[in-house]
């Protein structure tokens, strides 16, 4: 399989961590995208990550990619019991919202001309991100040591926030989330895929 990615993309990081935690690293070649033209060749969405399967199918959404990788590895990263699965998906969904919120703000601040930036969009997303940090801080209290698609999403989102929304200072007043982040970041799959900024 081929995973088209950028090293600092939090969406690609979710897939990259999943590859490592499912022990599929020998079956997936990571290919760094360096231009928009290359990205267009990977699929109509022109976004990363893209996973090209052994049969040639292109999967172009990080949540679909991580679920596919989890499925072909025997379902190691999602709980089997329904109640545990629902809890896992709830945590993953908040982390996904946080990642998207930080992405919107990053786009406004770094891609859009200053005179075209929307203060309303930025304020809305700052508030959304803050609610997500608070929700994650409460949710991770009951999280153990097991790695799931949810823990992968949480760490990828927080790592992205450190890079693109450092002004949020998400660690302030959220000691449970900090402890969880530090504990999970000690694992090689997470440490080796951390964004560089």
What CATH number does the domain containing 152 carry?
Answer: 1.20.1050.10
CB 196: neighbour CB atoms within 10 A? 6
Number of domains in the chain: 2
Domain-embedded: residue 77: no
Q: Note whether 49 and 89 are same-domain residues.
A: no
Reference 30, options 63, 64, 65; nearest CA is 65
**Domain finish residue from 28, 44, 72:** 72
pLDDT at residue 114 in the model: 84
pLDDT of residue 39: 80
Ranges of residues in the chain with a pLDDT under 50 are: none
- Are 53 and 138 within one domain? no
Minimal CA–CA distance to 4: which of 96, 46, 196, 106? Answer: 46
**pLDDT, position 167:** 96
Residue 141's pLDDT is 94
| CATH number of the domain bearing residue 56 | 3.40.30.10
Alpha-helical runs (H) found in 43-81: 62-72
For the beta sheet containing 2-5, the strands, ordered from the edge strand earlier in sequence to the opposite edge, are: 29-32, 2-5, 50-52, 58-59
Of 41, 72, 103, the last residue of a domain is 72
Residue pair 22/76 in contact by the 8 Å Cβ criterion: yes
Are 86 and 62 contained in the same domain?
Answer: no
Q: What are the pLDDT digits (tens) for 149-158?
A: 999 999 999 9
User: Is the pTM higher than 0.85?
Assistant: yes
């Amino acid at each position: 399989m081929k995973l088209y990615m950028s090293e600092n993309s939090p969406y690609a990081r979710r897939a990259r961590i999943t590859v490592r935690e499912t022990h599929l690293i020998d079956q997936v070649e990571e290919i760094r995208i360096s231009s928009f033209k290359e990205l267009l060749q990977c699929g109509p969405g022109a976004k990363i990550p893209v996973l090209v399967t052994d049969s040639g199918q292109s999967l172009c959404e990080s949540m679909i990619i991580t679920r596919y990788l989890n499925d072909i590895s025997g379902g190691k990263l999602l709980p089997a019991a329904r109640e545990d699965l629902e809890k896992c998906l709830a945590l993953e969904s908040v982390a996904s919202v946080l990642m998207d919120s930080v992405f919107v703000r990053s786009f406004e601040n770094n891609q859009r001309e200053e005179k075209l930036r929307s203060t309303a969009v930025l304020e809305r997303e700052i508030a959304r991100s803050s609610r997500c940090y608070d929700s994650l801080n409460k949710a991770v209290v009951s999280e153990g040591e097991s790695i799931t698609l949810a823990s992968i999403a949480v760490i990828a989102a927080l790592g992205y926030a450190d890079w693109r929304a450092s002004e949020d200072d998400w660690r302030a007043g959220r000691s449970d989330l900090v402890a969880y982040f530090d504990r999970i970041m000690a694992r090689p799959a997470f440490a080796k895929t951390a964004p560089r900024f």
